[in-house]
A and B are shown apart, each in its own frame.
Chain A
Amino acid sequence: MSALRAATFPAAAVRERAQAGTACVFPDLAEYGQAVFGADPARLAEQAADSLDRFRLVPPVFVPGRLAKLIELAREPTYRDVGIESAVGGFRSAMPVYVSAFGSTRTASGDLGLAASRQAGLLGIPLVIGENVMPVNGYGRLGGDAGLTLVGRIRAYADHVPDGIGGVVVQQSTEDADAEVWNCVYSDPNVQHLLESGRLGFELKVGQGAKPGLGGMTVLTEAAAERLAGAFAMDRLFGGATDTVLRCASPGTFTEEILRQQVRLMRNNFPRARVWVKLPPARDVRAAARVAWEAGADAVTVDGAEGGTGWAPLAFLQHVGLPLGECLRRIGEHQSCLLVSGRVWEGARAAKCLALGASAVGLGRAALIALDADARTGLVNLAECLALELRMIASALGKYHVAELSREDVWLPGE
Chain B
Amino acid sequence: MVLMRSAGPSAPGEHLASPVTRSVLTIQQHMLIAARGFLRDRGFTEMLAPIIGPVTDPGARGAKQVDVDYYGHRYKLMTSAILYKQASLTAFDRIFCIAPNVRLEPLETASTSRHLAEFHQIDVEMAGASAADVMLLAEDLVRHVVRQVCAELPRELDQLGRDTGAFAGLLSEPFGRLPHASAVADLAGLGYDQNPAAEIDWAAEEMLSRKAARPFFITGYPKGSRGFYDRESRETPGRLCNFDLLAPEGYGELCSGSEREHDYAVIIARMRETGENPAKYGWYLELVRQGIPGSAGFGLGLERFTRYIAGLDFVWQASAYPKVPGVPLP
A31 is an interface residue with CB less than 8 A from chain B: no
Q: Contact partner of B225 among A187, A263, A265, CB < 8 A?
A: A265
Q: Please choose the segment from A47-55, A177-185, A329-337, A365-373 that sits at the chain B interface, where 4 or more of its residues have CB less than 8 A away.
A: A177-185
Interface residue from A189, A258, A264 paired with B198 (Cβ < 8 Å): A264
Q: A318 at the A/B interface (Cβ < 8 Å)?
A: no
Q: How far is the CA of A266 from the CA of B269 in the complex (A)?
A: 17
User: Are B277 and A264 in touch, CB under 8 angstroms?
Assistant: no
Asked if B87 is at the interface of the complex by the 8 Å CB criterion, the answer is: no
Q: Does B74 contact A (CB under 8 A)?
A: yes
C-alpha gap A7/B127 in the complex (Å): 63
Contact B104 A187 (CB under 8 A): yes
Q: Which B residues between 180 and 223 are near A, CB-CB below 8 angstroms? A: 195, 197-199, 201, 222-223
The size bracket of the interface on A is 20 to 34
The docked-state distance in angstroms from the alpha carbon of A173 to that of B195 is 25
Which chain A residue lies CB-closest to B237? A257
**Contact B274–A187 (Cβ < 8 Å):** no
A238-295 contacts to B (CB < 8 Å): 252-255, 257-258, 260-272, 295
Question: A187 contacts B64, CB within 8 Å?
Answer: yes
Report if A192-B107 is in contact (Cβ < 8 Å); known contacts: A175-B277, A260-B224, A271-B198.
yes
B224 touches A268 (CB 8 A): yes
- A411 to chain B minimum Cβ distance, whole angstroms, is 42
Query: 1/0 per position for A95-132, CB-CB distance to B under 8 A?
Result: 00000000000000000000000000000000000000
Whether A311 sits at the interface, judged by CB under 8 Å, is no
Chain A residues within 8 Å of B222, by CB: 264
* A268 lies within 8 A of B199 (CB): yes
In the assembly, what is the distance between CA of A272 and CA of B62, in Å?
A: 10
B177 within 8 A of partner (CB): no
Please name all residues of chain B whose beta carbon is closer than 8 Å to the beta carbon of A263 when the two chains form the complex: 224
In the complex formed, the residue of B with least CB distance to A273 is B62
Q: Which residue of A lies closest to B224 (CB)?
A: A264
Bound-state Cα–Cα, A308 to B76, Å? 35
Q: Pick the contact of A187: B62, B224, B275 (CB < 8 A).
A: B62
* Residue from A175, A204, A271 with most neighbouring chain B CB atoms (10 Å): A271
The answer on a CB contact under 8 Å between A254 and B64 is no
Please determine whether B274 and A186 come into contact, CB atoms closer than 8 angstroms. Answer: no
Chain B residues whose C-beta falls within 8 Å of the C-beta of A264 in the assembled complex: 197-198, 222-225
Say whether, besides A183-B64, A187-B63, A261 and B326 are in contact (CB < 8 Å). Answer: no
Q: Does A60 contact B (CB under 8 A)?
A: no
Q: Which of A180, A266, A270 contacts B65 (CB 8 A)?
A: A180
Interface centre among A187, A204, A271 (most CB of B within 10 A): A187
Expressed in whole angstroms, the Cα–Cα distance for A300 and B197 within the complex equals 19
CB-defined contacts of A204 to chain B, threshold 8 Å: 275
Q: Judging by beta carbons under 8 Å apart, are B269 and A258 in contact?
A: yes
Complex CA–CA separation, A189 to B280 (angstroms) = 28
Contact status A230-B74, CB under 8 Å: yes
B64 touching A180, Cβ below 8 Å: yes
Subset of 20 A-B contacts with CB under 8 Å: A174-B277, A177-B277, A178-B74, A178-B280, A183-B62, A186-B62, A186-B64, A187-B105, A187-B106, A204-B275, A230-B74, A252-B272, A260-B273, A262-B273, A262-B274, A264-B225, A267-B224, A269-B61, A269-B62, A271-B201
Contacts A267-B224, A268-B61, A270-B62 given; 6 further ones with Cβ under 8 A? A178-B280, A187-B104, A204-B275, A255-B269, A257-B269, A267-B197
The 9 closest A-B pairs by CB, nearest first: A264-B224, A261-B273, A183-B64, A268-B198, A269-B62, A261-B224, A258-B272, A268-B225, A187-B106
